[in-house]
Amino acid sequence: MLEERILIVEDEETLCEVLKLNLENEGYLVDIAFSAEEALKLDIKKYSLILLDIMMGEISGIRMAKILKSNIETADIPIIFCTARDSEDDMIMGLNLGADDYIIKPYTIRNVIARVKSVLRRTIKTKTEEEKQNILKVNGLQLDLEFKKCTVDGKEVKLAKKEFELLAFLIANRGKICSREQILSQVWSNEVIVLDRTIDVNITRLRSKIGSYGSCIVTRSGYGYGFSN
């Protein structure tokens, strides 16, 4: 069973059910939202790909895509537009928003599945290449472990040696809380005496230096620190 989870955002109920059935037969986990409003109430960041209709209710697919691309937690999620609007201007607008593909209705299920597989392959390949290049990346926050370089939304941010190593450790272990003991043993392993306050000071500096991504560094009193994305 594949781990990729797909969200279908489409106001045609029958079409949603057909897409869901066929994608699940391919091994994907599939959820449905019948409007952008309904979709935006979900935990969007857990999805590997979004199939998004353009012409919906108060919030169009175009507007929803803009919302997702402007949020650091959802900006990297691939989007495939599915729409009856087939003008070149509409297609260019969708792709300029950061959509990964554009499927014009009416379409065949085989075509949709082929496009989904293609986009997911590209996404997985990109992540694999980043891992091979010793790159740690969370949306627009990137650490190059070879060149010891940190960039935030494409702009380099100067970090001290321990700040860089601390951030790299937290991102490498994102999704879980690391105790002070674990952090000290990994980041300050060669130091004879290190005060707990040292970790707190470096955490504070990191939060201020990495901009909006600073909120991803979480504190759990009595337990330690973590990186949540």
Q: Give the pLDDT score at 107.
A: 85
Q: Give the pLDDT score at 105.
A: 83
Pairwise CA distance, residues 150 & 143, whole Å? 5
Q: Give the pLDDT score at 76.
A: 83
- The verdict on whether omega for the bond into residue 106 sits within 30 degrees of 0, i.e. cis, is yes
Pairwise CA distance, residues 66 & 40, whole Å? 12
Q: Give the pLDDT score at 85.
A: 65
List, run by run, the mean pLDDT of 10-residue segments along the chain (229 residues). 82 93 94 96 93 88 88 85 72 72 87 92 69 79 92 94 95 90 86 74 95 94 89
